[in-house]
């Protein structure tokens, strides 16, 4: 995780630094619908490996975009959800969805 001082000076570059991978964008898209467990996220994102999902979730937690809640059960249950900062990305994802829909409709 980079500190705010280490982030790029350009705001667009900062956003790309935080959510620029296709996997993180898809994870955020899915978490915008509500809290999910690891297995649910893995099943809903075709092609993502367990390692990439784990690394992406850890990175997003470190960056303060989402929260990870561990339940003291056997086997352990872990849930992921967007926090206030993560929820603030809703307009970005919505704009991407609208643009993608318009692009596909004009092809």
| Per-residue pLDDT of the chain in tens (107 residues, 90 and over written 9) | 667 777 778 888 888 888 888 899 999 999 999 999 999 999 999 999 999 999 999 999 999 999 999 999 888 899 999 999 999 999 999 999 999 999 999 97
Residue 77's nearest CA partner among 69, 85, 89 is 69
| Domains of the chain (ranges, CATH numbers) | 18-105 (1.10.10.10)
Tell me how far apart the terminal alpha carbons of the chain are, to the nearest angstrom. Answer: 39
Q: What pLDDT, on a 0 to 100 scale, did the predictor assign at position 18? A: 82
CA–CA separation, 45 vs 22, rounded Å?
Answer: 11
Q: What pLDDT, on a 0 to 100 scale, did the predictor assign at position 12? A: 85
Residues paired with residue 69 on neighbouring β-strands, in sequence order: 79
Q: What pLDDT, on a 0 to 100 scale, did the predictor assign at position 8? A: 73
Q: What pLDDT, on a 0 to 100 scale, did the predictor assign at position 1? A: 62
């Amino acid at each position: 995780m980079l500190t705010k001082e280490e982030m790029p000076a350009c705001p667009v570059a900062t956003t790309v630094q935080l959510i620029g991978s296709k996997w993180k964008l898809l994870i955020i898209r899915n978490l915008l619908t509500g809290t999910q467990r690891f297995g649910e996220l893995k099943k809903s994102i075709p092609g993502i490996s367990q390692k990439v999902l784990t690394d992406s979730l850890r990175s997003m937690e470190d960056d303060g975009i989402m929260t990870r809640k561990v339940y003291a059960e056997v086997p352990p249950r872990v849930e992921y959800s967007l926090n206030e900062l993560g929820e603030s990305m809703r307009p970005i994802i919505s704009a991407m969805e609208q643009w993608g829909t318009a692009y596909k409709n004009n092809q």
